[in-house]
Amino acid sequence: MEEKSLRTIIIVLLLVIALFAGFVIVKKYKESEFKFSYKGVNGEYLIEKVKFENTTDYYINVYANNKAYRIPFRNSPKDLESLYLEDDIKESVINKHWIYITQDPETAKETNQGSFIGLMEFGRLLGTTRDGIYGINTKSALTKPEGNETVTIKTCNDIDLTTGIIYLKLGDENKVYLDNACVIIQGKDEKGLIMSSEKFAYHLLGVF
Beta bridge partners of 99: 138, 164
Summarised one tens digit per residue, pLDDT across range 168-189 is: 999 999 999 999 999 999 999 9
Distance, in Å, from the CA atom of 14 to the CA atom of 135, rounded to the nearest integer, reads 58
Closest CA to 208 of 59, 34, 82: 82
| Separation CA 89–CA 99 (nearest Å) | 14
38-52 pLDDT, tens per residue? 999 998 999 999 988
CATH annotation of 83-204: 3.40.50
CB neighbours (10 Å) of residue 8? 10
Smallest CA-to-CA distance from 89 within 195, 191, 184 is with 184
**What number of other Cβ atoms are within 10 A of residue 145's Cβ?**
11
pLDDT, tens digit, for every residue of 131-169?
Answer: 799 999 999 999 998 877 788 999 999 999 999 999 999
| Angle, helix 190-204 to helix 114-126, in steps of 10 degrees | 10
Q: What is the pLDDT of residue 203?
A: 97
Let me know: does 133 contact 202? Beta carbons within 8 Å: no
For residue 54, what pLDDT is reported? 82
Q: Say whether pLDDT at 91 is over 60.
A: yes
